[in-house]
Amino acid sequence: WYMPQAPTGELIGFESTVDRDEDPCEVYLSEYGPQEGGSLPGRMEVRYKDKTYAVLTNVKFTIEK
């Protein structure tokens, strides 16, 4: 196992699926920065199987109470 940098505690990605027998959709999170009083990802990459479906950049979050 190789870790190129010290762990930051930031979520680097997650998987989601509607059927256990199917490949999951993968979402990779990166380019964290200060937003809404915390550190949130500014880039999201969405992949399914070996295909990239979307790369979202300059992602902004609004947290409502």
Per the confidence metrics, is the pTM higher than 0.75? yes
- Kindly report, residue by residue over 45-64, the tens digit of the pLDDT: 999 999 999 999 999 988 88
C-beta separation of 24 from 15 below 8 A: yes
- Kindly report, residue by residue over 10-24, the tens digit of the pLDDT: 899 999 999 999 999
In this prediction, residue 49 carries a pLDDT of: 92
Distance (Å, whole) CA 3 – CA 56? 25
Distance (Å, whole) CA 21 – CA 14? 17
